[in-house]
Amino acid sequence: MRSSRIFGFVVLLLTVRWVYGFEDLNVTEVSYVEGYGYGVSANPLMVGLTLIQGAAAKGAVCLDGTLPGYHLHRGYGSGARSWLIQLEGGGWCNTIRNCVYRKTTRRGSSTYMEKQIPFTGILSNKAEENPDFFNWNRVKVRYCDGASFSGDSQDEVAKLYFQGQRIWLAAMEDLMSKGMRYANQALLSGCSAGGLASILHCDEFRELFPRTTKVKCLSDAGLFLDAVDVSGGRTLRNMYGGVVSLQGVQKNLPSTCLNHLDPTSCFFPQNLIANIQTPLFLLNAAYDAWQLQASLAPPSADPHGYWRGCKLNHAQCTASQIQFLQGFRNQMLNAIKGFSMSRKNGLFINSCFAHCQTERQDTWFADDSPLIGNKVSPMRLTVFVMQNIKWKLKK
């Protein structure tokens, strides 16, 4: 293992690992119920689902009209007035057809949500697994709108409610009433589509609190790039275009971006991060497994399956495929070049084939996590970096 300084910030070049990737544009996070969402955590804390009563009166409903919800585990001791909000990921829906399907799943209806979910990784309540946040108030906000908590529209014929923005507001209002208003420090985080949401809502989150409250944001695997796929097309841009237009996202995108770019471009975080005023930390794999699977080399762009072996096992990638992947990595580093120059921001870009590293115990903090200099895991380094570039989250 070694580290290099690029553009004035540290990028860690770790032993490349493959962590579960996905083919489906509507799935961006590891499932709780498929067995590997727990990482290596033994007997994880199970936290119950709380539906937001009164949300429907505000129009804050899931795709199918059911109530949104979250899972809350209370903090204690030194963490009693510290809050960590984790926005769930789970892809997007960009057409009536796939949104209608989505509302028959937990990603579009609270009817199908698990009544309890495991809190692992950054949400763990065990000091040995999560030494920095184990005793904070930790919240997992469920994702059931399909537009990274940013839509504001509906389709009466299909009975679809695109109310992600209202869900975000209703969840924050409910949590503020349950003690978050008294926080002395608060961290908004999210994985994948939730990582994008943590970027979109970062400054809004800051405005919920008085200036005396320390507020930061963390985006895990949310740096989705407007990249060219292996066929020369733009699979993810086409997908995002549908999400933005169908779900009325434009009205909730920042004017600082819309003043000079089209709405679809303003749904890409690379065009948003430079103008975010609240301290933001980016955690991402340079060879993001989901983006490789679903954005760079999806079946639609690779009908003959030339990339199938490479996607399933990076050791099978040809020299030209490795060069293509290296180009994607370089694009990611270029996208955050300006962002990295601000001392209030932080980032950790590793050379893993991974997606969502804060929620899995084995990538967040475990005995066999990758080590840097045989001393510290990448996720502990993330916290260290946060603490040493004006990112101190604990007293």
CA-CA distance, 64 to 159, in Å (whole number)?
Answer: 7
pLDDT, tens digit, for every residue of 76-117? 999 999 999 999 999 999 999 999 999 999 999 999 999 999
CA-CA distance, 129 to 254, in Å (whole number)?
Answer: 37
Number of Cβ atoms within 10 Å of the Cβ of 159: 12
Catalytic residue annotation: 192, 288, 355
**Residue 66 carries which DSSP code?**
P
* Lookup result for tokens 């989150």: 205
- 198 with 188: CB under 8 angstroms? yes
If you average pLDDT over every residue of the chain, what do you get? Answer: 87
Average pLDDT over residues 243-255: 98
User: Domain segments of the chain: what residues?
Assistant: 43-382
* pLDDT of 363: 84
Q: Which of 23-37, 77-91, 272-286, 305-319 is predicted with the least confidence, judged by mean pLDDT?
A: 23-37
Residue 127 backbone phi and psi in degrees, to 5? -60, -35
**How much is the pTM?**
0.89
* pLDDT of 361: 86
Percent with pLDDT over 90 in the chain: 78
CA-CA distance, 225 to 228, in Å (whole number)?
Answer: 9
* Residue 330, pLDDT above cutoff 70: yes
* pLDDT of 7: 27
* Residue 268, pLDDT above cutoff 90: yes
Any bridge partners for residue 82, and if so which? 185
* Residue 11, pLDDT above cutoff 60: no
* pLDDT of 362: 85
The pLDDT confidence band at residue 368, using thresholds 50, 70 and 90, is: low
* Residue 141, pLDDT above cutoff 80: yes
**CATH label, 43-382, candidates 1.10.287, 3.30.1330, 3.40.720, 3.40.50:** 3.40.50
CA distances from 38 to 6, 24, 144, 358 (A): 33, 21, 21, 11
* Residue 20, pLDDT above cutoff 50: no
- Give kind and range of the element (H or E) at residue 23: none
Average pLDDT over residues 294-304: 97
